[in-house]
Structure 1
């Protein structure tokens, strides 16, 4: 219950229900930069005790890792033992009051055992995103995702040749896409998805969508067996279901939700207005699922008529199976 209460408190701060206090954005950015340089790039674990709060909570710590500072140090040691020359570059850092969002890239040489894979000597790189909350000058909470599947592919994990991270992106420059622009627009179970980035745009690391959900609509409970998901809620009132842990969360705008692979989950817009959210899926590629299961159209302002009759769950389940997704349908 402590983690739930902490998450609810963070929700109140994010949504403005509590006063976040003076704006320490610049100071917090410098704290984050110093932390990554000293702890991750130089291995100075003594800074962990200085920067992380005594009751620090990492909501996306690696499986089997202890909670708190002990778990964080164990994770640093595990990564640096496998990649002794690991170096993280902070590609983008944004801060608002006590919240900091980071997009980063790690580079290193595989010289130690990593998740059962013996040293290969390969040079690797992988991306990630981290969201943290700072309280009283210390990091109190963290949420994040990393492209571990892409990293494993580079190392030849599970017998697969390194591929995803090495796919050449069609963009070798900063790209821009307007609010209504998309690589494809689909409607799945009433949800309109504007695909902003495909796996081919991101070297296989992630796919990104902006989804609009009518009142009363949503996505039924399902499980991704090979992808992590992250939601950033823009507009609307939402119920999110964690079926694995039998929990239901009611959240509003500006909340972030991370869903690890193999976790049964779903969501519904319970408000009286259309809801909007940003959906990130890693590794990328599920744009093919949306295009296969839904209606594809060009103009999001002029969608085609919705299909008549109930959804074809049998067809949906068949397509989902190709993408290692399992739906809990009304038929069970």
Structure 2
């Protein structure tokens, strides 16, 4: 189970590999952390990585600090790292290093991502970048 989550983090989030994403996502995947019911599908998750994070964070790396496995659920504590090189949620590139801390719970079914829950510090990172860019909060 942990290997599947490590692969997702390396190949999908870090490397942006669409084929790996397709291989690792269950057809009925649900992202329970999405803001609305309409955004809970796999494609919306892919778009977040491909059009929000990856273009904004140069040299994007995922550093896994810890993983725990309980049956079909894997809990991962990780950091997404890189340099702010493109627009991130309305904040133009600052050139600053960014570190988004994340805790994910992934339910794996038949070797694929079936459900996801998570918390992260993206809002705090955006607030810091806004200040670094000289923009009012």
- When normalised by structure 1's length, the TM-score is 0.38
Trace 1:80-159 onto structure 2 (pairs within 5 A): 80-156=54-130, 159=136
Deviations 1:147-188 (A, max 9, x none): 02320132025625xxxxxxxxxxxxxxxxxxxxxxxxxxxx
Unaligned runs of 5+ in 1: 1-27, 161-332
The structure with more strand, counted as a fraction of residues = 2
The structure with more helix, counted as a fraction of residues = 2
- Greater relative contact order (Cα < 8 A, sep 6+): 2
SS of structure 2 residue aligned to 1:112: coil
Q: Offset at 1:66?
A: 3.4
Query: Which whole-Å CA distance do the structure 1 matches of 2:62 and 2:10 have between them?
Result: 8
Q: 1:97 to 1:72 in 2, by over 3 A?
A: same
Give the number of the structure whose alpha-carbon radius of gyration is greater: 1
Runs of 4+ in structure 1 deviating by more than 2 angstroms, as ranges, are: 61-67, 156-160
Deviations 1:263-293 (A, max 9, x none): xxxxxxxxxxxxxxxxxxxxxxxxxxxxxxx
Query: Which whole-Å CA distance do the structure 2 matches of 1:108 and 1:59 have between them?
Result: 26
- Paired residues, number: 133
Unaligned runs of 5+ in 2: none
Query: Which whole-Å CA distance do the structure 2 matches of 1:70 and 1:84 have between them?
Result: 22
Equivalent residue, structure 1, for 2:45: 72
Cα RMSD of the aligned pairs, angstroms, is: 1.8
